[in-house]
Structure 1
Amino acid sequence: MPGRTGAGPIRQAEAALQLGLVQTLRLPGPTDIAIWSNIMSAKEIYLHHFAVMAPENVIEKVVEFYGEILGLRPGFRPDFAVPGYWLYSGSHPLIHLTVNNDRSEGTQGYFHHVALHCSNFDEVVDRLDKANVGYRRNDLDSVRLVQLIVRDPAGTPVELTFDK
């Protein structure tokens, strides 16, 4: 390959860490050398928000779901021409909800799921169980993560990701 230095993968990963191309160097297993959070830039990209557009009765259920399960709360939302909510995680409007009573149930485009990094695993599992919300658990030991896969009341697939 052009530009290859011949250095082993561990040395390459250590060099990338020193250059600021990655922010975390993990060696959890024999095949996992590094988690490359940023290959071309030292800047990080985070999920700013995701949006759901659905009939009013569905939006109300979505507000309740994220409030009960993740503790997200409605907060300030600009005065748009249509009703809706912005659900906040701390001071950040993470989920944007818009009422559209003409919207029908179904899939649009190729959207697959949204992933949210969470920090209170036992509490979230307890809330899901109490709310009778089904979930699938994936233990990703090689990257020290646990995922809970759920669907919100609007049918949006949501991956709740926790550090192990």
Structure 2
Amino acid sequence: MEIRRLDHVNIRTSKLDEMIAWYEKYLGLRNGHRPEFGVGGAWLYKGDHAMVHLVEVDKECASVEPKVEHFAFTATGYSEFVERLKTHGIATEVARVPGLPIVQVNLEDCDGNHIHVDFPTDEV
């Protein structure tokens, strides 16, 4: 067995519609097919790959804190991405990864989940 990549992240949210809109607008994912699991939710795709799975929970359950500190995407188009976030007032922190040719754009989604989007340093 050889692990090759992260398949998806599953996020609980009491703000399903807001989260769908956020991931579509700021990360360019699209809401797509999701099997019927008997609970509300959405799968957000890049191409044919469902990268972010959202599961709708009651507001009472929203305080459950997973032990995931962050999740990350690899991307291209640094300038366009940073400008999109800046235009919409999305707070970011940009950091170079010591010893690696990566620049991280750290941000939070509308539910407070930490995400970083990684770009090659030659784009910055």
Partner of 1:103 in structure 2? 61
Q: 1:152 aligns with which of 98, 109, 116?
A: 109
SS of 2:20's partner is helix
Q: Distance in 1 between matches of 2:10 and 2:3?
A: 21
How many residues get paired?
120
2:31 to 47, 69, 74: 74
Shift in Å, 1:146: 0.4
RMSD: 1.6
Query: Quick check: 1:113–1:157 contact (8 Å CA) kept in 2?
Result: yes
Matches for 1:1-150 after TM superposition, within 5 Å: 43-55=2-14, 58-101=15-58, 102-105=60-63, 107-108=65-66, 110-140=67-97, 142-150=99-107
Deviations 1:17-55 (A, max 9, x none): xxxxxxxxxxxxxxxxxxxxxxxx8x4521100011111
Give 5+ residue unaligned stretches, structure 2: none
Percent identity reads 26
Q: How far apart are residue 141 of structure 1 and its match?
A: 5.7
Q: What is the deviation of 1:80?
A: 1.1
- Partner Cα distance (2:70, 2:63) in 1: 16
The alpha carbon displacement at 1:132 in A equals 0.7
- 2:12–2:55 CA contact under 8 A, matched in 1: yes
Instruction: Considering fraction of residues, name the structure with more strand.
Output: 2
TM-score, length-scaled by structure 2: 0.88
Matches of 2:111 and 2:5 in 1, distance apart? 23
| Structure possessing the higher radius of gyration over alpha carbons | 1
